[in-house]
Structures are given as structure tokens and as C-alpha cells.
Amino acid sequence: MKADLLKVMILNIAFSCLLVHAKNPQEQKVGLNAHVHGSSELMIVMEGRVLEIQFISPAINLIGFEHQAMTKQDIAIVKNTASLLGEHDELFSFSGSRCSLINSVIDTSDLIKRDEHKEGHAIHDTHTQIVSKYNYDCEVMSKSLTITATLFDTFSNIQQVRVMWITDKKQGAVTLNAENKTINLW
């Protein structure tokens, strides 16, 4: 737990520095965890063989709405999306390493609240996010390590993914889109 907190703190500091030095003033305004429809974020940390990926997206990009799911139809959409996010090998592919999933956590808890409201009385003034975390054990096979994010193929409402990463060798940031899906970690 302390190691996870330390990694998050390091990422926040590192990426804050990157944002301060952004060339485009508009990029400086959109920081970590900014809620922008059509835009999602990936935060990647690799230490030794351990690779951690955190994907954060406004719910509207993934399920088409942001209110709490109260109807059976909305709840089914949220559960289906959580299942799609659980299919990590459909979202990320690796080159230069052999990565095995250790575990994953898909957090849709802000979208499904039990016993607080009756069906059909959803809250509409929210900006909810879906967060998924993936932990891998990676055997690096080459001098270059790349991750291809194929999220655009699964979730058509995602127009861009802002990626921030830190490894033992390098740190950086890049913005991906449907045509440019590759992250070169080193």
C-alpha cells in the first residue's frame, strides 16, 4: 500500500512538471484527472518486472452516460463495460516483452449505488469516472518496450488518451488517438 501511494505521488509530481513545460498553453490547462469528454488517461509505472497501468475515463466515453445507473438497462450497460475493461488483452498489447496479468480492478462503484434511489430516479448532475487498474509481471525480451493501446477499437467515444509514464529508464507523456496508438516506454 505504501509503495502504491509512493508511486502515485511520484507520478503526480513528475507529470505536474511535464504539464508546466507543455508547449501548448491549452495543454497546460488540462491536467491530471481533468474531466474532458472524449478524452481519457493512462498512467503507467514500470519498476523492474512489475508494470502497472491505470486507465481513467469519464463514464460517458465508455457507457454513454454519467448518471448513476438505476434502470436494469443502465446497470446492464455498466456491467458489460466492466466486463470489456476486464479483457485487458483486448485493450493493450505489448511488444518487446512478455507480460502476464497478475490482477486487475475495474471500479464502476460511482455508477451503481444500491438502495439509495428507486429505479428511474438517476442523478444527472454528476461527472463520474470509470477507473481500471492492471498489474503485470513482464519479462523484457528486447531493448525497446512498447505498449499499443487498442482502447479506441473497443470504445468509439474515446477520441484521445493522454498517457503519462515512468520507468526505471525513462519518463514521458504522449497523446494517443485512433491513428497513433503506440507508447514507447524505452
- Is the Cβ–Cβ distance between 71 and 112 less than 8 Å? no
At 35 the pLDDT is 61
Q: What is the pLDDT along the chain (186 residues), one digit of tens a residue?
A: 555 544 554 554 444 444 433 443 333 334 445 567 799 999 999 999 999 999 999 999 999 998 889 899 999 999 999 999 999 999 999 999 999 999 999 999 888 875 544 444 444 456 789 999 999 999 987 888 899 999 999 999 999 999 999 998 889 999 999 999 999 987
At 3 the pLDDT is 58
At 165 the pLDDT is 96
At 30 the pLDDT is 41
At 5 the pLDDT is 44
